[in-house]
Amino acid sequence: MQNKDISNAILVAGSAIRGSTGQSEQTPHKDRVALIVRDSYWLQADWEITRAAVERVRVAMNEKWHSAQPVLRLMAVGDASSNRAEQLIRDIPIHGGVSNWYIDVDEPPSRFRVVIGYLAESERFYPLCRSNIVETPKPDAVNRLDRHWRDIAEDYERIYSLSGGFDANSGGELKEVFEARLQRPMPSRQDDGSGSDTDAALDRHRALPFEVDAELIIFGSTTPGATVLLSGEPVKLRDDGTFTVRVALPDKRQVLPVIAQSRDSMRQRTTVIAVERNTKVMEAVERDQNF
């Protein structure tokens, strides 16, 4: 049940209470999933689902719930003039305890959306919510945004634009997600070309680039020929049984189970790594040139 429950908020009096701290966002809550472009071949899905929404699906599925699998359904949006022209690409199994997922895609430029929900053994899909539509850029059209899995805060304006944030038809959910996670207002595109206070702030930021980020490196060793899984994903072992994995370190608490299994599947050992990152970007300081 812990792996099946993908909720990360409890709905109390119309406000979402997230995590174990019991801190309320103090805003009307709506279950949502936001799709973000990282570069030509990678997307990131970020969701906020209440436990009440998962419970509704559990009741609707009845006995099918016991074998249900939470998934991200990746859809290709083929017709730019109609959001209804969607084709299923694949269902990506996910699990509880996380609120975002990296998705590899191909054939850029292409348009995508994801739907988060539960898939029954009968292949019937029970959706929870749908994301915004994004379009991946042509290769080399922009610098690779995930070269070192940098945090979105580093280049938030470009990622926001690539993810459809400036599209008038995309709605305000993506803007709400960015502003909530980055703790800053998102810029608005000026039709008349006039600049805003936000644009001026961005210009000052570009005058003194400053990039600080962090990654998590997990390494270890086991018997050569064994199988190692990190959060359910296989890890490539070297010939001597050692391994090293670099993973993203977003601003949140992560629980990462690492499992080793013998070649004959008769022995298994598990180590659970829990890590939390908190990053705060301070306001830029502008000093008068006369001082």
User: Which CATH number fits the domain that encloses residue 222?
Assistant: 2.60.40
| Tokens found for residue 187 | 């810029």
pLDDT of 150 higher than 70: no
Q: Are residues 200 and 219 in the same domain?
A: no
Q: Are residues 47 and 144 in the same domain?
A: yes
Pairwise pLDDT comparison (145 vs 277), residue with the higher score = 277
Q: Which amino acid is at 53?
A: A
Tell whether 101 is covered by a domain: yes
Tell whether 227 is covered by a domain: yes
Tell whether 291 is covered by a domain: no
pLDDT band at 99 (very low <50, low <70, confident <90, very high): confident
Q: Are residues 166 and 107 in the same domain?
A: yes
Please check whether residue 114 is in contact with residue 102, taking contact to mean a CB–CB distance below 8 angstroms: no
Mean pLDDT of the chain: 77
Pairwise pLDDT comparison (101 vs 211), residue with the higher score = 101
Q: Are residues 227 and 181 in the same domain?
A: no
Q: Are residues 108 and 181 in the same domain?
A: yes
Q: Are residues 194 and 237 in the same domain?
A: no
| pLDDT score at 241 | 92
Tell whether 285 is covered by a domain: no
**DSSP letter string over 14-83?**
TEEEETTTTEEEEEE---EEEEEE-SSSEEEEEEE-BHHHHHHHHHHHGGGGGG-EEEEEEEEE--TT-T
pLDDT band at 290 (very low <50, low <70, confident <90, very high): low
pLDDT of 209 higher than 90: no
| pLDDT score at 68 | 94
| pLDDT score at 116 | 96
pLDDT of 265 higher than 80: yes
The tens digit of pLDDT for each residue in 52-91 reads 999 999 999 999 999 999 999 999 998 655 555 789 999 9
| Tokens found for residue 154 | 């580093």
Q: Are residues 146 and 264 in the same domain?
A: no
- Could you say which of 154, 176, 207 is where a domain stops? 207
Which CATH number goes with the domain that contains 62? Answer: 2.60.40.10
Tell whether 283 is covered by a domain: no
Full domain range(s) for residue 178: 9-207
Please check whether residue 97 is in contact with residue 3, taking contact to mean a CB–CB distance below 8 angstroms: yes
Tell whether 289 is covered by a domain: no
Q: Are residues 202 and 238 in the same domain?
A: no
pLDDT of 14 higher than 50: no
- 166: helix, coil or strand? coil
pLDDT band at 93 (very low <50, low <70, confident <90, very high): very high
Cβ neighbors of 192 (< 8 A, separation 6 or more) are: none
Tell whether 282 is covered by a domain: no
Q: Are residues 188 and 233 in the same domain?
A: no
pLDDT band at 183 (very low <50, low <70, confident <90, very high): low
Q: Are residues 221 and 188 in the same domain?
A: no
- Could you say which of 207, 240, 256 is where a domain stops? 207
Q: Are residues 143 and 242 in the same domain?
A: no
Q: Which amino acid is at 241?
A: G
Q: Are residues 240 and 128 in the same domain?
A: no
- Could you say which of 154, 179, 207 is where a domain stops? 207
Domain count, the chain: 2
Tell whether 37 is covered by a domain: yes
